[in-house]
């Protein structure tokens, strides 16, 4: 774990954050700059810098993120109205925090 990784500090409870969900592998919390009424971050506890740094054996982490996103969408009440799932990859792709995470975004009224 890099000592300056914000999400590692959150996972390790060095920075107080309200978890909407936590298990042995993941935490979920609200984005501090939400892009929609529902904007949560799904973060693996294991530090992986970016999608580009994933190793083949870490495939279960990615599938786990998607399964968790499905459950969190239901918990947040956007599973039937619709939502977006987004990975930002590297600076040019909008990644600001270099710890793999999945955005779940939704809740717009149409």
User: Is residue 85 assigned to a domain?
Assistant: yes
Written as tens digits, the pLDDT of the chain (110 aa) is 667 899 999 999 999 999 999 999 999 999 999 999 999 999 999 999 999 999 999 999 999 999 999 999 999 999 999 999 999 999 999 999 999 999 999 999 87
> Could you tell me the pTM of the whole model?
0.95
| Rounded Cα distance, 103 and 7, in Å | 13
38 with 69: CB under 8 angstroms?
no
Q: What domain range is 72 assigned to?
A: 6-106
- Is the residue at 1 inside a domain? no
Query: Which residues are tagged catalytic?
Result: 101
Domain count, the chain: 1
List Cα–Cα distances, 26 to 20, 35, 38, 109, in angstroms.
11, 22, 19, 29
């Amino acid at each position: 774990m890099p000592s300056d990784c914000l999400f590692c500090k959150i996972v390790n409870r060095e920075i107080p954050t309200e978890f909407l969900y936590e298990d042995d592998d993941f935490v979920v919390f609200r984005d501090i700059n939400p892009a929609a009424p529902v904007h949560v971050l799904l973060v693996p506890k294991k530090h992986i810098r970016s999608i580009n740094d994933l190793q083949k054996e870490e495939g279960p982490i990615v599938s786990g993120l998607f399964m968790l996103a499905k459950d969190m969408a239901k918990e947040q009440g956007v599973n039937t109205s619709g939502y977006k799932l987004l990975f930002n990859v590297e600076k040019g792709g909008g990644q600001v925090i270099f710890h793999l995470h999945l955005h779940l975004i939704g809740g717009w009224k149409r």
